[in-house]
Amino acid sequence: MVAVISIGFVWYKFFYWMKLFTDTSFFINLLSRTFSDRNFRAFTIMMIILICTFSNVIYIFNKTRGVRTKDGEFWKDFKDYDDEGTINDQIFTKDVPSDFFNAFFYSYKLSLGEFDTEGFRGENEMFLWAIFIAATFLLQITFLNMLIAIMANTFYEVLNNQHTATMRERIEILSDFRLVVRWLKLDTEFQYIYIINPLNADSKEEELKAQLTTIKRQIDLTSSRVS
C-alpha cells in the first residue's frame, strides 16, 4: 500500500512539473480551472445526488423482489426458471459485499453506458425498464451534455488568457522554492518579478486617445478661466 501511494505521488509530481512547458501548462491550468469552477462543483453534487436516487430505487427493487411469505415469515431469493433462464435474479452483480454500494456502482456504470439488463426479468420488470430509460436520459444524455458545456466554457476562458495562465503556473513553481531561496540568501538583491509586455497598435492608440483627452480638458479649463 505504501508503494502504491508513493508511486501515485511520483506521477502527481510528474504532472506538476509539466507546468514548466508552454504546451502542457495550458492543459494543467485547464484541469485545475475546471475542478475549481463553481459550476463544475455544483454539477458534481447534482450528479452524485441523481446517481444515489437511482441507486436507492434499484436497491429497494432488488431487496423486495422474489420475497414470499411462508408460515408468517419472509423468505428471500425465491427464484423461478423458464426456458430463457432465471427469473427474479439479482438486478446487479455483487462486486462488493454491500448491496447498497453494488446498486451505486450499477447506477454509475449505467451513466457511463454499461447496460446490464439481464437481471430485469421477473417482478417489477416494467418498472425497472422505466427506471432504466429515465436513468439513461438524465445521466447520459442530459447531465453529460451539461458537463461538456461547462468544460467548453472553461476551455475558452483559459484559451483567451493562455499566456497569462502559463506565466502564473511557472511562478507557482518558483514560489515552491521560496524557502530554499531564503535559506541560501539568494533574495537579498531581488524581491519582485516584473513582467514586461510590448505595446501593440491597440495599446498605442488607446494611449494616444487618453493623451488627447487630457490635453482637451486642459484647454477647456484654461479657456473657462480666461473668459
Q: What is the domain range of residue 220?
A: 200-227
Q: What is the pLDDT of residue 30?
A: 82
* Same domain membership, residue 207 and residue 112: no
- Residue 95 and residue 204 in one domain: no
Judge if 152 and 221 occupy the same domain: no
Clarify whether residues 60 and 150 are in a common domain: yes
Q: Is the pLDDT of residue 47 over 80?
A: yes
Q: What is the pLDDT of residue 74?
A: 46
113 shares its domain with 219: no
pLDDT of residue 75: 47
pLDDT-derived band at 199 (thresholds 50, 70, 90) equals low
- Sorting pLDDT into bands at 50, 70 and 90, what band is 201? low
Q: Are residues 145 and 48 in the same domain?
A: yes
Q: What is the pLDDT of residue 50?
A: 92
The pLDDT value given to residue 197: 61
71 or 22: which carries more pLDDT confidence?
Answer: 22
* Residue with more model confidence, 143 or 218: 143
Average pLDDT over residues 188-203: 59
Is the Cβ–Cβ distance between 61 and 127 less than 8 Å?
yes
**Distance, CA of 132 to CA of 58 (rounded, Å):** 10
Q: What pLDDT was estimated at residue 45?
A: 92
The Cα–Cα gap between 176 and 171 comes to 9
More confident residue, 54 or 204: 54
Take residue 175 and report the three cell numbers written for it.
Answer: 514560489
Instruction: Specify if 24 maps to a domain.
Output: no
Name the domain count of the chain. 2
Beta bridge partners of 86: 81
Neighbours of 192 (CB within 10 A): 4
**Residue 1: predicted pLDDT:** 77
Per-residue pLDDT at 124 = 76
* Residue ending a domain, choose from 111, 135, 162: 162
Statement to judge: residues 118 and 211 lie in one domain: no
pLDDT at residue 180 is higher than 80? no
Summarised one tens digit per residue, pLDDT across range 152-177 is 888 888 787 777 777 777 777 777 77
* Residue-wise burial string across 91-124, b where 16 or more C-beta atoms lie within 10 A, e elsewhere: bbeeeeeebeebbbbbbbebbeeeeeeebbbbbb
Residue 82 lies in a domain: yes
pLDDT in tens, 59-117: 888 887 765 555 545 445 555 555 555 565 677 778 788 888 888 988 888 888 888 77
Q: Are residues 213 and 142 in the same domain?
A: no
pTM here is 0.63
